[in-house]
Structure 1
Amino acid sequence: MAQATITARVDAKDKMEFDAFCSNVGLNTSTAINMFVKAVIRENRIPFEIAQNPDPFYSEINMTHVRKAVQELRTGKGTAHELIEVEDE
């Protein structure tokens, strides 16, 4: 099978840590990258979850607070206010 080269730029510290990890698990960097490529081809997807930093508004603790506040409003406790629009400065 013909070989091809993939060139990618990564942070120097990340490369050093990745190389060290690969060495610790008995792989070289090229083998680890080839394993990744094969997994992508086999699974037809990135073989791990890719998540963005979640919006803190939707954190479980905040959503619990919002649900409680909505329930209080529905039962007549609390005061509903109109949204006040503030113009950008």
Structure 2
Amino acid sequence: MLDTEKKKVSISVKTSPADKEQAAEIFDGLGLNLSTAINIFIKKSIAEGGLPFEVKDPFYSETNQAELNRRFKKITNHQDLHSHQLLDNRD
């Protein structure tokens, strides 16, 4: 092992207390502490050449897009349209 691989550096990560607690409980159940779990994530990211999982925005899911298209068609065809006044309409 190279000397540079033996040295360790600290990384400061900010997260909410609730997220930290939930993650710690999950990793504890796997026999890991937060530091080890984060190191696994880093090593896996390096091996994958990016995030080791897919990051998606659920807004663009096939189901959501189909629902939006259905609603747009209804609007285009003037179906189920209801007028309303904005709650903060101060005109």
Report the TM-score, using the length of structure 1 for normalisation: 0.63
1:8 and 1:37 map into 2 onto residues whose CA distance is 13
2:36 and 2:60 map into 1 onto residues whose CA distance is 36
**What is the aligned residue count?**
70
Q: Which residue in 1 is equivalent to 2:67?
A: 61
How much is the aligned-residue C-alpha RMSD, in angstroms? 2.9
Deviation at 1:60? 2.1
2:60 and 2:38 map into 1 onto residues whose CA distance is 32
Secondary structure of the 1:4 match is coil
Unaligned runs of 5+ in 2: 1-5, 78-91
Deviation at 1:23? 0.4
- Structure 1 residue 10 and structure 2 residue 11: aligned? no
Percent identical: 27
What letter matches 2:39 in structure 1?
A: N
What letter matches 1:44 in structure 2?
A: G
Report the TM-score, using the length of structure 2 for normalisation: 0.62
2:42 and 2:53 map into 1 onto residues whose CA distance is 13
Unaligned runs of 5+ in 1: 70-77, 79-89
